[in-house]
A and B are shown apart, each in its own frame.
Chain A
Amino acid sequence: MITIVDYGMGNLRSVQKAFELYCPKVKVSSSASDMLSADKVILPGVGAFGKAMEELNNRGLVEPIKACVKQGKPFLGICMGIQLLFPDSEEAKGVKGLGIFKGSVKRFSDNVGLKIPHMGWNRIKRASGREPVSVLKDVPDGSYMYFVHSYYVEPEDKSIVACETEYGRTFASGISKDNVYAFQFHPEKSQSAGLKIVKNFAEL
């Protein structure tokens, strides 16, 4: 069973429908036990960092998420779900994130003549010098994915960067370490290229 963590941050229906293409049992739930008993856990979400952490805290989901990561089960963060894995964000100073990875979440600079949010289809390129990342199997290098965000993650440990994207700067659009995978873009909204990632994760 795949459990999609529901903490009131956005529509999870399309995430669920995408994973149901490849996995018979996908549950959207805000219960800790559904997360702890799942084979795989997905942390999706759109919106603001501060609000997202508030909702996770209110539902008592912070410790269960950390426990799932520690258990070693495949864990996937999408969009806000990648940012929450870090200790804090420029979007909500003073709010503590999940802190699963070291690093920070930064806002795109207003001064380079680029629109914010970074919205639309952009390429992902595999980070150089990395072993092939399992969930990116069969995803051609340079594939277009659908992004919509104003903040990006900057991991301290560059070796966890799975893929990068250029938008005024090069930023980590995907990270992975052991059982944890996370993407800034929306695989479930990225047509056939994104659905390959969905399939790969479902089949891990």
Chain B
Amino acid sequence: MHCEVKRGVGNMLTKRIIPCLDVKDGRVVKGVKFLDLKDAGDPVEVAQAYDREEADEIVFLDITASYEKRQTMLDVVKRTAETVFMPLTVGGGISSLGDIRDLLNAGSDKVSINTAAVKEPELVSRASERFGSQCIVVAIDAKRRAGSKNPEWEVYINGGRTPTGIDAVEWGEKVEALGAGEILLTSMDMDGTKDGYDIELTRIFSESLNIPIIASGGAGNLEHLREVLTDGKADAALAASIFHFKEHSVREAKEYLKKKGVKVRI
């Protein structure tokens, strides 16, 4: 960063605030620790509300996509893209180039691949070659390994149910090399706790990789957003319940961050 300052040219890119909607059967839900579900509305309407609030992007996570028909989600994406002119990422149950193509054609700007990337890493390279790195997000669910001397995290798949034995940071470096354009990094330890993001995990990822990192899991207040975007060096912060249940609006979050010296679009 120092050399830019010397050249007198800065980086005006802002940190992104991204509400995430968990979607099941075409309705928004929010899982607590992935299991306890609450219904919170129509995804298209919620997306429109976040558009009005000038959220920087929106993420739809189809939490039942692995088991149920995908057509419902494609319809939600289509209806959203017709009225909301902001970047939309869709994840959940994506396992083939055909799934990716369908979602992009429906109006998604990016897709987020999780389990399928672990099972078949070539999917990441083939997808980024075919559709461009810019639309291939790899989602990593990482859980701290107990008892290890240095901080280590393990990759879990199948919605956090299945440990893989894979080191999360090494996996991140690998998918970057395979052509991922961005990482959606969820701390399973913090997800649903509202105790804040895993700052250490996020910082290690951001320092080890050269692609943007979206931090996820644990946001309980606005200070948590600030911490992960500064100390955690995240490029974007994803949050669900603090926005969905109107504890804070996206605008309030941005005003708070701006006051604290974080570059945000406001």
Contacts and interface: CB of A to CB of B under 8 A. Distances in A.
A119 B132 contact: no
B129 interface: yes
Interface in A175-202: 186, 188-191, 194-195
Interface in B124-146: 129, 131-135
Nearest to B135: A46
Interface in A113-138: 113-123
- In which size bucket is the chain B interface? 35 or more
A14 B210 CA distance: 29
Contacts of B212: 115, 117, 119-120
B132 A112 contact: no
Contacts of A98: none
Interface string B223-264: 000000000000110000000000000000000000000000
Contact of B11 (A47, A121, A167, A191): A167
Contacts of A195: 85
A121 B83 CA distance: 20
Contacts of A146: 86-87
A149 interface: yes
B134 A168 contact: no
Contacts of A190: 85-86
Interface in B85-113: 85-87, 104-109
B85 A167 contact: no
A10 B109 CA distance: 9
9 contacts: A11-B108, A47-B131, A113-B4, A114-B1, A115-B211, A120-B235, A121-B13, A146-B87, A190-B85
Interface of B: 1, 3-4, 7, 9-16, 51, 54, 56, 78, 81-83, 85-87, 104-109, 129, 131-135, 181-182, 210-212, 235-236, 265
Interface of A: 9-11, 13-14, 17-18, 46-48, 51, 110-123, 144, 146-150, 165-170, 186, 188-191, 194-195
Given A144-B14, A189-B109, 20 more contacts: A9-B132, A10-B135, A11-B108, A13-B105, A13-B106, A17-B82, A17-B83, A17-B107, A47-B134, A119-B134, A120-B14, A120-B235, A121-B265, A144-B265, A148-B87, A148-B109, A149-B134, A150-B134, A166-B10, A188-B85
